[in-house]
Chains A and B, each alone.
Chain A
């Protein structure tokens, strides 16, 4: 029953050692602080354009990307891409500079929030087009298969993207070509202002996997360890020639579709999620209760992350803007 949340086999801390647990926490904490800072900075009017924040969904990016290496594994992301970028080790300061439109940004200021990419880290880009990523991931997976490098490609998409033809075609293609691909459907309950309960016919993205001949499972996206375990199985399967899988991660975004969204379509779910379900709080409780980490160790990460984000914002604001000479560069490799 894909629509029932799977019960993790390992109820404790996933067999991760202290260093790995700290890494996972650092990733989630970095995403959270990055996004909350952007929420505040956007309100000042200093950030151009549109930003879509990932706060609340951290366990998904961290739980999936923790299995991936930067050399051979690839992800494709969505318009809500900052968390995936951070979890795939895109430089946080370059990301911040990009969001501020600076020449020092990941894309030299030409892409912005919705298009952050770092091909050197296997990060194929956030994407402004819903459903834009899954076909690219099929291609990335094909490249790994042809080269035989053992690489896995992971497509992140939302409940909105789950309804795009490109996504459904990609699920089919991945099976037909037996690709080392993993499809992570981050179902945060809303495609913009439209409820997934209404827009996802059949009610479950994971259930669609069966129609395409691949395993599908649904996990609690507030539980890092549950996501990690489900993603790990899918990634291992892909890496060892077992073909594609689909994992639906149920979660909640803490902010609007974009900054400025008044969210009149929602009621109290965010307050409840923050208070009772939050992935960072749950992680902290779990690892301190198990004795794997101390509160002091986690606090130290909090301080380290706070300093990093502070520096990232300060440096981004001080960084140079692109100049007129940059306008028509990099349209082509040669022309």
Chain B
């Protein structure tokens, strides 16, 4: 049975169902319940944006609040994962990776390989990314390419409530460390989600829309921006095929390459930066493996190579929008050698 729920509710539901199914799943993070040691209500926050609300009353021993000590509690989640738990730790904002990155990239990411295949570290780090909330330079970044670049980490970027639930279930059941990136501007978006539990396998892209003129690969919140642009372009007869990779590591190269073989043109839309980012990565993939199919240079739509600005008119210019995507598609279509 499917019904319409929000991205926030979809994540919450995945956590509840996995905690019911598997007693080794524990949830921890800053104010994931909230109100620890305080005289008022317990479960006062359920996370800073309410994503984990209601979990602690239901699973009192398996939802842990933490001090503001990211190195310690992210590292502890990783350590617990090596000892049989399946922790879902919340790194409140992806920007805070700077505080605890060692535990993620030198520890969790390396164990499997460095210990000769003898370690299993089934940790999930849920983290909030993205611009649009006027949260300024240290609370708005899209840093998932950093994680994507580190071998040993898997990286999921749900673009809708359906993806959020299915990818989180997969992340929890997955035996490798997973960075689960939630776009903060998507929490209130509504979509159809099955009530029962389901997992979306990693490394399987979703073709959001079929079309023969141009392939748009879009990630996370940029999927809905690409759809908006494609709607606009459809009015002038341009048929866009939209591919949502859903995970950047592993990356479903085949679906992207097959789409480009079919359309001959590619635009990549990404909220991460233009340098060493996902757009550059996918452009390089296609240039290397589908060069013969390309009828125009690969177009990319990303923010500029700047920190995220605070002031609303600047932030609005920073984040890619449908107008910029449509312009990039037109320029790829109009290209002449």
Is A134 engaged at the interface, CB distance under 8 Å to the other chain? no
Contact indicator B99/A164 (Cβ below 8 Å):
yes
- A54 CB to nearest B CB, Å: 18
Within 284-337 of B, Cβ neighbours of A (below 8 Å) are at 304-307, 309-314, 317-318
Bound-state CA distance A322–B314 (Å) is 7
Cα distance, A222 to B304, chains bound together (Å)? 46
A107: chain B residues within 8 A (beta carbon): 310
B38 in contact with A327 (CB, 8 Å): no
Interchain CB contact under 8 A, B134 and A328: no
Interface size on B, as a range, is: 35 or more
On chain B, the residues within 8 Å of A267 by CB distance are: 39-40
Q: Given the interface contacts A114-B138, A165-B72, A328-B305, does A193 sit within 8 Å of B35 by beta carbon?
A: yes
A129 and B68: CB pair below 8 A? Answer: no
In the complex the two chains form, is B310's CB within 8 Å of A190's CB? no
Name B313's closest neighbour in chain A (CB-CB). A321
Cβ of A172 < 8 Å from any Cβ of B? no
- Determine if A49 and B135 form an interchain contact, defined as CB atoms under 8 angstroms apart: yes
B residues in contact with A161, CB < 8 Å: 68
Majority-rule SS of A interface residues: loop
Whether a CB of chain A sits under 8 angstroms from the CB of B44 is yes
B198 CB contacts on chain A under 8 angstroms: none
Name the CB-closest residue of A to B46: A193
The reply on B59 being an interface residue by CB < 8 A is: no
The residue on A at minimum CB distance from B41 is A264
> Measured between alpha carbons, how far is A194 from B36 in the docked complex, in Å?
5
Q: Which residues of A contact B36 (CB under 8 A)?
A: 193-195, 198-199
**A19 CB contacts on chain B under 8 angstroms:** none
B310, A111: Cβ atoms closer than 8 Å: yes
Give the chain A neighbours of B67 by CB distance below 8 A. 160, 163, 191, 194, 199-201
Q: How large is the interface on A (under 10, 10 to 19, 20 to 34, 35 or more residues)?
A: 35 or more
Cβ contacts under 8 Å, A192 to chain B: 30-31, 34, 45, 48, 68
A331 within 8 A of B: yes
Determine the chain A residues whose CB is within 8 A of the CB of B68 once the complex forms: 130-131, 160-161, 163-164, 191-192, 199
Known: A193-B45, A265-B38, A328-B305. A129 touches B95 (CB 8 A): yes
What residues of chain B lie closer than 8 Å to A193, measured between beta carbons? 31, 34-36, 38, 44-45
Please provide the chain A residues from 97 to 112 with a CB less than 8 Å away from any CB of chain B in the complex: 101-103, 107, 109-112
Write the nearest CB–CB distance from A119 to chain B, whole angstroms: 16
Q: Contacts A128-B139, A130-B68; is A48 near B41 (CB within 8 Å)?
A: no
Is B105 an interface residue, CB under 8 A from the partner? Answer: no
CB distance from B276 to the nearest CB of A (A): 16
Shortest Cβ gap from B192 to chain A (Å) = 30
Q: How far is the CA of A24 from the CA of B143 in the complex (A)?
A: 43
Mind listing 12 A-B residue pairs with CB under 8 Å? Answer: A48-B310, A112-B136, A113-B136, A115-B310, A166-B99, A192-B30, A192-B68, A193-B45, A264-B41, A265-B45, A322-B311, A331-B306
Interface residues of B (CB under 8 A from A): 30-31, 34-41, 44-45, 48, 65, 67-72, 95-96, 98-99, 133-139, 304-307, 309-314, 317-318
4 nearest A-B residue pairs (beta carbon): A198-B37, A195-B37, A128-B138, A112-B310
**Which residues from chain A sit less than 8 Å from chain B, CB to CB?**
48-50, 101-103, 107, 109-115, 127-131, 160-161, 163-166, 190-201, 263-267, 269, 321-324, 326-328, 331
